[in-house]
C-alpha cells in the first residue's frame, strides 16, 4: 500500500489522544468511603462492567474512526494482488498531452492524424472515472493547457475536446516530458497516468537528445507513461521559402520572387503548380515538372508592382495532404521611387563607382530603379535628406555632431545608411561622434587600417560561407571563380559590439568586411574596406553591383517586409515617443491585440510576444492608424511529416519503460492491464465517517441517558420525609 | 414538605457541631423547636387520666380543666397516666456506616444531636429517657432516668465507642427489646443499612413487646441523591469490597435500588405500625424534629395509633 500524502499518517498519532484521555480518566478515580454499599451491589456492579465495556467500545470507535479518516486523507492505494479483497476503485489522475503541431493536420479530411488522436483521447476518456483529476495540454508552439486538474466530467471534457485546435507551429519535443511531468506532479492522485499522443515525427524523434531520453525516464518515475502514436504517410509538399531575389520594390517595377517547394515524401512528385497571388489576386502560375523525393525545387514568380505601399504576396500549392505549409507569405513595401545619396569623401572616384554599381543593369542598359546622386562630403550639411531612402558615405573623413544626430534620426525613421571605410577616415572623430553611446550610429568602433592580404601579398577573398541574410542571396548564385576574384588588401580594424553582426567576412582570417546593426526602424551597413579600389578590387568585380543593389533594396524596404515565423515576436518600432501608449496588432483571424509601447535602449517598441497564427498580421501605431502588414509563416521544418517506424520507435524508447499503444484496442487493453492500483480513500473516508457518526450517536445516547438519570428525583417518603423540600 | 413549618431560623448541623457541648446543643435545638408552632407530640400520646395539677406557665391552655375552674375558680391541668410513666428509649446506631459524612457532620454526629435533643425534650417534660447504643452488638444500655446527665452520657458513650461493622440489626433490637422492661416509646436512630427483612424483624419484636416505635432513618444527602460525577471508587465502611465506577452513569441504578429499599422499609414500618421518617443530615435537627412531631400529631389526630400505650 502506498500513500499519496504519507506525511498525513503522522496525524494517526492523534489516536493517542482519546487513549490518553481514557487512561487519564481511569487514573483520575476519586476515592470515598461509602456506607450504602448494598445499593452498589449486584446490578450496579454489572452495570459498572457494562459501562467499562461501553467506554472501551466508544474508545475503540473513536480510535478506529480517527485512524480511518487519517488513512483516507493520506490517500492510500493498493497494488493489485496485495489485497484484492479490499474494496477500492481503479481511479487514476490522467494527464493527456496531445500533439497539436501542424503536422498533425496531415491526412485526408476526416482521417487526419489529429482526428485519430482525438479518437484515442476518447478511448482514454472512457476509462476515466467521474471526478478523477484530468489535465489536457495541447503540445505545439507554446503548449496550451486546456484544463488542469479538472474533475472529470464526460460532457465537459467532450466540450473541451471540441475546442482543441491544431496550432500552426512545430513541436518542441524536448519540452514535452517536463511539461507533462509538471502537470502530473501538480495532480493529487495516488495513481497517475500520462498519455502522450503524437505522430512521432521522425525529424523530432531521430534527433531526440539524451536529455529527452532522461526526461522521459524521469517522467516515468512520476507516472505511468503511455505513448500513443498516430503515424501517417510521409507524402507532403511544402513551400519552404519565398524571397525577393531581384528587382526593386518600386512602383512600376517588377520583382522576381523565388518560391522553394520541397517534396518531403519518399516518392517523386510531378507537375507541382505554384500560384502567386498579390493582394489575393492570382498574377502568376508556374509548374514544377518534377520534384524528386526529399528534394527541393525553386520557381521564379514575377510580381509587377502597380501601386505603391505595402503589398501582400503569397505563393501557394494545392492538392496536398497537409494544407498548413502549402502557403508562403511575404510583404513588399513598394515605393514610388528609391533615392540614393552618395556622399563622396574622396576625389570623386568612390562616388562614381558606387553610382555605376547601383545603376548597372544586365546587358549594359541603364534603368531608373534607383535615383542616385553623388555629392562631395563637404556638401552634406546643406543636402536635404527627406526625399532620400539610402545614404552612402564613402570614405567621408569626418562628420560633425549635428550631422551624426541628423543621420541617426534619419536611420531611426526607417531609412538606410551604408558606410565605407577608406584612407581619409579619421577614426577618432567617427568613434567620438557616431560610434559611442547607448545606441551609436555605426555598428562598430573604428580602429586603424590593417593589412588584410595573405602572406604572399595577394588580397584575401571573401568567405563563401555566408549567413542566411537577404543581402547575400545574389552572391550565392555567383560562380565560384567570379566570387573569388574579389580580393581585399586592407581593411579597417573594428571593435564590434554584441548588437552588431557580421554579414561578410574574409576567408581564412574571419575578419569582418560588412557589418550590420539596427537603429530604430532602419539599418546601417558598414564596410570595413573602401568603396574605391585602393584597398580592394571589389568595385571591379560583379560582386560590387550585386551587393550594392541588394543592400539598397534591402535598406529601402521596411522592417515589415521581413517575414516572421509562427511563435516569433512581432515588433513595431517608433521613431520617437508616440502619443498613444499602446500599439494594435490585428491577427489573421481578425483578433485585435493591444500591446503597450515600451522604451528599450532609448527606442520605443511595441512587441507582440508570440505570433500564434500564420497569415498576415497588421500592425498599427494606434487603433485609427493605417495598418502595416506583417507576413507570418509556419516553420517549414515541421513539414517533414515522416513518422518513426515501430522498430525505430522501440529503439528510441529503449530502457524508458514506456508503454506504447498504437490502436484503440491496444490502448484500452493497456489501460486496463496497467491500472492495477486501487484507490481506497473513499472507502476509508466513508467507513471512518460512519464510525464517527455511530460514535457520536452512541455518545449522544449515553449523554441523554446520563441527563435522564441526573433528573431522577431524590427519594422521598412524601409526607413522612424529613428530606429537603426544594 | 415544609410548607406547614414557620420560617424559623433553624440551626444548621455544622453550627451545632461547632457548639461541642451536647447539652447546649440539645437545649438550642429544643429552644428552636419551642418557638415553632408545633407542640410536643408526647403529650398527645397519653392515654388514661391520672390526676390534676395546678396550672403552670407554659402549660397548654387546652389542657386546663375548665370544669374544675368552674367549680374552684382555679386553673388545673389534667395529667394523664402515660405522661407520668413515660419512658423513652433512644436506640442509637453507632456502626461504621454511621460514620459516613459527605459534609462536616457524620450521620453518627447527627444521630447524637437528635438523641440529645429528644432526651432534652423528654426530660423537660419530666419523663424518663433511656439510651441504647449498638453496632454489631449492644455497646451500651442506660435504663430510663429523669436527669439531664443522660445527655452527657450519650456524648461520652458515643465518644468511647469504636465503630465496628454491623452484620445484623435485628439481633441488637432483639437484645434491646429484652432489656426494656416497661412499655416505652422507642426511637431508633439509625441509617438502617442492612437487610430490610432483618430490620423489620427487629422492629416487629419491639412492637410485639408493646412498645411504641419510631424510626428516624438517618441518611446523608449524598446517600439520598448520589450526586457523584466522574470516576469514583466507593470503599465500603462495612468491609464491603470497593467498587470503581462512573458514578454519574450508575446513579439511575443506585437510586432505583435505594428507592426500592426505602419503599420496602416504609411499607414494612407502616405494616408494623412503626412511625418512620427519613432524616436528611443536611437539614437542621430542630427542623427534622419539628417535622417528626408534626407527623406524630397528625397520626394522633388521624384514625389510628393503636400501638400507643
Give the model confidence (pLDDT) of A503-528 as tens digits: 898 888 888 999 999 888 789 999 99
User: Confidence class of residue B28 from pLDDT cuts 50, 70 and 90?
Assistant: low
Predicted pLDDT of residue B135? 84
Q: Are residues B174 and B55 in the same domain?
A: no
Whether residues B96 and A29 touch (CB distance < 8 A) is answered with no
Residue given cell 450526586 in the structure block: B227
Predicted pLDDT of residue A481? 82
Q: Are residues B72 and B215 in the same domain?
A: no
B17, part of any domain: yes
- Integer Cα distance of B64 and A695 in angstroms: 75
Chain A residues in contact with B244 (beta carbon < 8 A): 29, 48
How far apart are the CA of A65 and the nearest CA of chain B, in angstroms?
24
B5, part of any domain: no
Chain B residues in contact with A705 (beta carbon < 8 A): 249, 252
How far apart are the CA of B83 and the nearest CA of chain A, in angstroms?
25
B127, part of any domain: yes
- Integer Cα distance of A563 and A331 in angstroms: 7
> Helices A681-710 and A43-73, interaxial angle, to 10°?
150
Q: Are residues B58 and B138 in the same domain?
A: no
> Is the separation of the CB atoms in A683 and B226 below 8 Å?
no
Q: Are residues B171 and B151 in the same domain?
A: yes
User: Confidence class of residue A498 from pLDDT cuts 50, 70 and 90?
Assistant: confident
Whether residues A33 and B100 touch (CB distance < 8 A) is answered with yes
pLDDT greater at residue A44 or residue B110: B110
How far apart are the CA of A11 and the nearest CA of chain B, in angstroms?
29
Q: Are residues B186 and B274 in the same domain?
A: yes
Chain B residues in contact with A712 (beta carbon < 8 A): 251-252, 255-256
Residue given cell 481506497 in the structure block: A680
Q: Are residues B198 and B226 in the same domain?
A: yes
pLDDT greater at residue A5 or residue A123: A123
Whether residues A34 and B254 touch (CB distance < 8 A) is answered with no
Q: What percent of chain A has pLDDT over 90?
A: 20
The Cα-based distances of A18 to A23, A27, A220, A701, B74 in angstroms read 8, 14, 42, 19, 85
Mean pLDDT (chain A, rounded): 83
Q: What percent of chain B has pLDDT over 90?
A: 8
Predicted pLDDT of residue A661? 85
Predicted pLDDT of residue B172? 86
Residue A419 pLDDT > 50: yes
Instruction: Tally A–B CB contacts below 8 A.
Output: 164
Nearest chain A Cα to B274, which residue? Answer: A720
Whether residues A715 and B97 touch (CB distance < 8 A) is answered with no
Exposed e or buried b per residue across B266-286, where buried means at least 16 C-beta atoms within 10 angstroms of its C-beta: bebbeebbbbbbbbbbbbbbb
B98, part of any domain: yes
CATH number of the domain to which B260 belongs: 3.40.50.410
- Integer Cα distance of A610 and A144 in angstroms: 13
B1, part of any domain: no
What are the pLDDT digits (tens) for B114-172? 888 888 888 877 778 888 888 888 888 888 888 777 777 777 787 777 777 766 788 88
Whether residues A722 and B221 touch (CB distance < 8 A) is answered with no
Residues 31-70 of B with CB under 8 A from A: none
Q: Are residues B23 and B63 in the same domain?
A: no
Chain A within 8 Å of B239 (Cβ-Cβ)? no
How far apart are the CA of B46 and the nearest CA of chain A, in angstroms?
22
Whether residues B230 and A30 touch (CB distance < 8 A) is answered with yes
Could you list the beta-strand ranges (E) of B63-106: 76-80, 87-93
Predicted pLDDT of residue A27? 65
What are the pLDDT digits (tens) for A315-352? 999 888 888 899 999 998 887 878 899 999 888 888 88
Chain A residues in contact with B250 (beta carbon < 8 A): 40, 44, 47-48, 51
Predicted pLDDT of residue A329? 93
Please name every residue paired with A660 in a beta bridge, in sequence order, or none if there are none: A227
Q: Are residues B140 and B287 in the same domain?
A: yes
The Cα-based distances of A216 to A139, A143, A182, A210, A314 in angstroms read 15, 17, 12, 10, 41
* Interface test with chain A among B1, B167, B197, by most A beta carbons within 10 Å: B1
Q: What CA dihedral angle connects B176, B178, B179 and B185, to 10 degrees?
A: 70
- All three cell numbers of A169, joined, read 507551429
Collapsing DSSP to helix, strand or coil, A552 comes out as helix
- Integer Cα distance of A36 and A47 in angstroms: 17
The Cα-based distances of A359 to A245, A545, A549 in angstroms read 17, 8, 8
Q: Are residues B141 and B25 in the same domain?
A: yes
A628-633 and A615-620 beta bridge pairing: antiparallel
What are the pLDDT digits (tens) for A83-114? 566 666 667 889 999 999 989 998 887 789 99
B7, part of any domain: no
CA-nearest of B177, B179, B183, B249 to B210 is B183
What are the pLDDT digits (tens) for A240-289? 989 887 777 788 888 888 899 999 888 899 999 999 999 989 998 999 99
Q: What is the mean pLDDT of residues A9-34?
A: 78
pLDDT greater at residue A144 or residue A707: A144
How many residues belong to chain B? 309
Complete domains list, chain A, with CATH: 2-85+680-713 (no CATH), 93-234+641-675 (3.40.50.410), 237-334 (2.60.40.10), 338-554 (3.40.50.880), 564-633 (2.60.40.10)
Predicted pLDDT of residue B19? 54
> Is the separation of the CB atoms in A410 and A384 below 8 Å?
no
Whether residues B243 and A721 touch (CB distance < 8 A) is answered with no
Chain A residues in contact with B239 (beta carbon < 8 A): none
Residue given cell 481514557 in the structure block: A22
> Is the separation of the CB atoms in B293 and B38 below 8 Å?
yes
Chain B residues in contact with A710 (beta carbon < 8 A): 248, 251
ipTM score for this prediction:
0.74
Chain A residues in contact with B3 (beta carbon < 8 A): 725
Q: How buried is B169 (Cβ within 10 angstroms: 0-12 exposed, 13-18 middle, 19+ buried)? A: buried
Q: Are residues B285 and B150 in the same domain?
A: yes
What are the pLDDT digits (tens) for A353-377? 888 888 876 554 455 678 888 888 8
What are the pLDDT digits (tens) for A291-320? 999 899 999 999 998 888 889 999 999 888
Chain A within 8 Å of B193 (Cβ-Cβ)? yes
Q: What is the mean pLDDT of residues B226-238?
A: 83
Residue B4 pLDDT > 50: no
Q: Are residues B63 and B180 in the same domain?
A: no
Predicted pLDDT of residue A188? 79
User: Confidence class of residue B43 from pLDDT cuts 50, 70 and 90?
Assistant: very low
Predicted pLDDT of residue A86? 64
CA-nearest of A614, A585, A613, A589 to A597 is A585
Residue B157: count of CB within 10 angstroms of its CB: 21
Chain A within 8 Å of B267 (Cβ-Cβ)? no
B4, part of any domain: no
Q: Are residues B232 and B174 in the same domain?
A: yes
Chain B residues in contact with A40 (beta carbon < 8 A): 234, 243, 245, 250, 254
User: Confidence class of residue B263 from pLDDT cuts 50, 70 and 90?
Assistant: very high
Residue A458: count of CB within 10 angstroms of its CB: 10
Chain A within 8 Å of B198 (Cβ-Cβ)? no
What are the pLDDT digits (tens) for A220-234? 888 889 999 988 888
Q: What is the mean pLDDT of residues A58-73?
A: 84
Among A29-43, A159-173, A559-573, top mean pLDDT goes to A159-173
Chain B residues in contact with A47 (beta carbon < 8 A): 245, 249-250, 253
Residue A711 pLDDT > 60: no
User: Confidence class of residue A721 from pLDDT cuts 50, 70 and 90?
Assistant: very low
How many domains in chain B?
Answer: 2
Predicted pLDDT of residue A97? 93
Whether residues A725 and B3 touch (CB distance < 8 A) is answered with yes
Chain A residues in contact with B216 (beta carbon < 8 A): 722
B39 HSE (CA, 13 A, CB side): 13
Whether residues A724 and B283 touch (CB distance < 8 A) is answered with yes
What are the pLDDT digits (tens) for A438-473? 778 899 999 999 888 877 778 888 888 888 888 888
- All three cell numbers of A146, joined, read 486546456
Chain A within 8 Å of B148 (Cβ-Cβ)? no
Residue B307 pLDDT > 70: no
Predicted pLDDT of residue A709? 56
Range of the domain at B75: 46-81
Whether residues A44 and B245 touch (CB distance < 8 A) is answered with yes
Collapsing DSSP to helix, strand or coil, B108 comes out as helix
B72, part of any domain: yes
Chain B residues in contact with A38 (beta carbon < 8 A): 193-194, 240, 257, 261
Whether residues A30 and B231 touch (CB distance < 8 A) is answered with yes
User: Confidence class of residue A553 from pLDDT cuts 50, 70 and 90?
Assistant: confident
Long-range contacts of A620-626 (CB under 8 A, 24+ apart): A620/A583, A620/A584, A620/A585, A620/A586, A621/A572, A621/A574, A621/A578, A621/A580, A621/A583, A621/A584, A622/A578, A622/A579, A622/A580, A622/A582, A622/A583, A622/A584, A623/A584, A625/A584
How far apart are the CA of A18 and the nearest CA of chain B, in angstroms?
16
Q: Which of B223, B230, B252 sits opposite A36 (nearest CB)?
A: B223
Q: Is the pTM of this model over 0.90?
A: no
- Integer Cα distance of B289 and A41 in angstroms: 33
Q: What is the mean pLDDT of residues A655-682?
A: 79
Chain A within 8 Å of B255 (Cβ-Cβ)? yes
- Integer Cα distance of B252 and A44 in angstroms: 9
Residue B49: count of CB within 10 angstroms of its CB: 11
Please give the DSSP secondary-structure letter assigned to residue B58.
Answer: T
Amino acid at each position: 500500500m502506498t500513500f499519496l500524502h504519507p506525511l498525513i499518517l503522522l496525524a494517526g498519532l492523534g489516536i493517542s489522544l482519546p487513549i490518553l484521555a481514557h487512561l487519564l480518566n481511569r487514573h483520575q478515580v476519586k476515592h470515598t468511603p461509602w456506607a450504602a454499599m448494598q445499593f452498589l451491589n449486584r446490578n450496579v456492579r454489572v452495570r459498572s462492567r457494562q459501562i467499562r465495556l461501553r467506554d472501551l467500545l466508544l474508545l475503540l470507535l473513536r480510535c478506529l474512526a480517527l485512524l480511518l479518516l487519517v488513512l483516507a486523507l493520506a490517500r492510500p492505494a493498493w497494488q493489485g494482488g496485495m489485497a484484492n479483497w479490499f474494496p477500492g476503485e481503479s481511479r487514476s489522475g490522467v494527464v493527456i498531452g496531445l500533439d497539436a503541431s501542424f503536422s498533425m493536420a496531415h491526412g485526408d479530411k476526416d482521417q487526419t492524424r489529429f482526428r485519430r488522436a482525438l479518437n484515442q483521447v476518447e478511448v482514454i476518456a472512457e476509462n476515466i472515472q467521474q471526478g478523477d483529476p484530468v489535465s489536457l495540454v495541447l503540445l505545439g508552439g507554446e503548449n496550451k493547457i486546456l484544463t488542469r486538474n479538472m474533475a472529470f466530467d464526460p460532457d465537459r471534457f467532450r466540450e473541451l475536446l471540441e475546442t482543441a485546435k491544431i496550432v500552426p507551429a512545430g513541436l518542441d519535443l524536448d519540452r514535452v516530458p517536463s511539461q507533462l511531468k509538471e502537470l502530473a506532479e501538480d495532480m493529487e492522485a495516488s495513481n497517475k497516468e500520462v498519455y502522450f499522443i503524437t505522430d512521432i515525427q521522425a525529424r523530432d524523434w531521430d534527433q531526440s537528445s539524451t536529455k529527452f531520453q532522461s526526461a522521459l525516464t524521469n517522467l516515468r518515475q512520476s507516472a505511468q507513461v503511455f505513448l500513443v502514436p498516430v503515424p501517417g504517410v510521409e507524402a507532403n509538399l511544402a513551400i519552404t521559402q519565398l524571397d525577393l531575389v531581384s528587382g526593386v520594390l518600386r512602383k512600376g517595377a517588377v520583382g522576381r520572387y523565388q518560391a522553394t517547394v520541397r517534396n518531403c515524401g519518399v516518392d517523386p512528385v510531378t507537375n507541382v503548380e505554384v500560384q502567386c497571388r498579390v493582394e489575393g489576386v492570382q498574377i502568376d502560375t508556374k509548374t514544377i515538372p518534377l520534384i524528386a523525393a526529399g528534394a527541393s525545387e525553386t520557381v521564379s514568380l514575377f510580381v509587377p508592382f502597380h501601386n505603391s505601399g505595402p503589398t501582400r504576396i503569397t505563393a501557394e500549392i494545392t492538392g496536398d495532404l497537409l494544407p498548413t505549409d502549402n502557403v508562403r507569405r511575404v510583404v513588399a513595401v513598394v515605393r514610388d521611387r528609391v533615392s540614393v545619396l552618395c556622399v563622396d569623401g574622396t576625389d570623386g572616384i568612390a562616388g562614381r563607382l558606387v553610382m555605376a554599381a547601383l545603376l548597372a543593369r544586365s546587358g549594359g542598359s541603364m534603368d531608373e530603379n534607383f535615383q542616385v546622386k553623388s555629392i562631395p562630403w563637404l556638401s552634406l550639411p546643406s543636402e536635404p535628406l527627406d526625399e532620400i531612402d539610402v545614404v552612402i558615405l564613402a570614405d567621408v573623413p569626418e562628420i560633425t555632431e549635428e550631422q551624426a544626430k541628423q543621420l541617426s534620426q534619419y536611420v531611426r525613421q526607417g531609412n538606410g545608411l551604408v558606410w565605407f571605410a577608406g584612407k581619409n577616415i579619421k577614426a577618432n572623430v567617427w568613434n567620438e561622434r557616431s560610434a559611442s553611446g547607448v545606441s551609436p550610429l555605426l555598428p562598430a568602433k573604428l580602429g586603424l587600417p590593417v593589412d588584410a592580404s595573405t602572406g604572399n601579398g595577394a588580397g584575401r577573398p571573401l568567405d563563401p560561407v555566408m549567413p542566411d541574410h537577404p543581402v547575400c542571396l545574389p552572391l550565392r548564385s555567383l560562380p565560384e571563380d567570379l566570387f573569388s576574384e574579389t580580393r581585399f588588401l586592407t581593411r579597417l580594424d573594428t571593435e564590434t559590439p554584441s548588437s552588431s553582426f557580421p554579414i561578410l567576412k574574409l576567408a581564412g582570417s574571419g575578419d569582418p568586411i560588412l557589418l550590420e546593426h539596427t537603429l530604430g526602424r532602419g539599418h546601417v551597413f558598414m564596410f570595413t574596406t573602401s568603396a574605391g579600389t585602393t584597398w580592394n578590387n571589389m568595385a571591379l568585380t560583379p560582386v560590387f553591383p550585386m551587393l550594392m543593389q541588394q543592400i539598397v533594396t534591402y535598406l529601402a524596404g521596411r522592417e515589415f517586409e521581413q517575414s516572421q515565423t509562427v511563435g516569433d515576436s512581432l515588433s513595431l518600432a517608433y521613431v520617437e515617443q508616440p502619443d498613444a501608449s499602446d500599439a494594435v496588432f490585428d491577427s489573421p483571424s481578425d483578433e485585435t491585440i493591444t500591446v503597450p509601447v515600451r522604451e528599450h535602449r532609448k527606442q520605443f517598441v511595441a512587441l507582440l510576444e508570440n505570433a500564434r497564427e500564420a497569415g498576415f498580421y497588421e500592425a498599427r501605431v494606434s487603433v485609427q492608424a493605417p495598418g502595416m502588414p506583417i507576413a507570418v509563416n509556419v516553420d517549414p521544418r515541421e513539414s517533414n511529416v515522416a513518422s518513426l517506424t515501430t522498430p525505430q520507435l522501440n529503439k528510441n524508447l529503449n530502457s524508458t519503460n514506456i508503454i506504447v499503444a498504437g490502436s484503440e484496442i491496444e490502448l484500452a487493453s493497456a489501460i486496463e492491464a496497467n491500472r492495477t492500483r486501487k484507490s481506497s480513500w473513499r472507502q476509508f473516508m466513508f467507513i471512518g465517517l460512519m464510525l464517527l457518526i455511530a460514535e457520536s450517536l452512541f455518545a449522544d445516547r449515553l449523554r441523554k441517558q446520563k441527563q435522564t438519570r441526573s433528573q431522577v428525583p431524590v427519594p422521598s417518603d412524601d409526607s413522612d420525609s424529613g428530606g429537603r423540600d426544594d | 414538605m415544609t410548607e406547614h413549618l414557620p420560617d424559623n431560623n433553624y440551626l444548621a448541623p455544622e453550627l451545632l457541631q461547632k457548639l461541642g457541648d451536647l447539652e447546649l446543643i440539645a437545649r438550642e435545638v429544643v429552644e428552636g423547636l419551642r418557638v415553632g408552632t408545633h407542640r410536643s407530640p408526647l403529650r398527645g400520646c397519653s392515654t388514661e387520666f391520672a390526676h390534676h395539677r395546678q396550672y403552670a406557665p407554659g402549660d397548654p391552655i387546652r389542657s386546663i380543666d375548665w370544669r374544675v375552674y368552674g367549680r374552684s375558680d382555679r386553673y388545673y391541668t389534667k395529667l394523664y397516666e402515660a405522661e407520668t410513666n413515660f419512658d423513652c428509649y433512644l436506640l442509637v446506631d453507632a456502626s461504621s456506616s454511621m460514620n459516613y459524612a459527605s459534609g462536616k457532620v457524620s450521620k453518627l454526629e447527627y444521630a447524637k444531636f437528635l438523641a440529645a435533643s429528644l432526651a432534652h425534650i423528654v426530660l423537660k417534660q419530666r419523663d424518663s429517657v433511656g439510651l441504647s447504643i449498638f453496632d454489631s452488638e449492644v455497646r451500651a444500655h442506660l435504663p430510663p432516668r429523669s436527669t439531664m446527665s443522660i445527655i452527657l452520657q450519650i456524648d461520652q458513650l458515643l465518644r468511647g465507642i469504636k465503630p465496628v461493622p454491623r452484620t445484623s440489626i435485628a439481633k441488637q433490637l432483639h437484645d434491646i427489646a429484652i432489656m426494656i422492661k416497661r412499655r416505652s416509646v422507642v426511637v431508633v436512630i439509625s441509617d438502617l443499612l442492612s437487610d430490610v427483612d432483618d430490620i423489620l424483624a427487629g422492629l416487629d419484636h419491639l412492637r410485639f413487646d408493646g412498645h411504641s416505635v419510631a424510626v428516624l432513618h438517618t441518611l446523608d444527602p449524598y446517600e439520598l441523591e448520589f450526586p457523584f460525577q466522574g470516576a469514583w471508587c466507593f470503599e465500603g465502611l462495612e468491609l464491603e469490597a470497593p467498587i470503581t465506577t462512573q458514578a454519574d452513569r450508575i446513579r439511575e441504578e443506585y437510586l432505583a435500588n435505594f428507592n426500592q429499599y426505602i419503599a420496602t422499609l416504609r411499607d414494612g414500618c407502616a405494616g408494623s405500625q412503626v412511625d418512620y421518617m427519613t432524616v436528611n443530615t443536611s437539614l437542621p435537627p430542630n427542623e427534622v424534629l419539628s417535622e417528626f412531631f408534626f407527623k406524630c400529631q397528625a397520626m394522633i389526630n388521624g384514625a389510628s395509633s393503636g400501638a400507643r400505650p
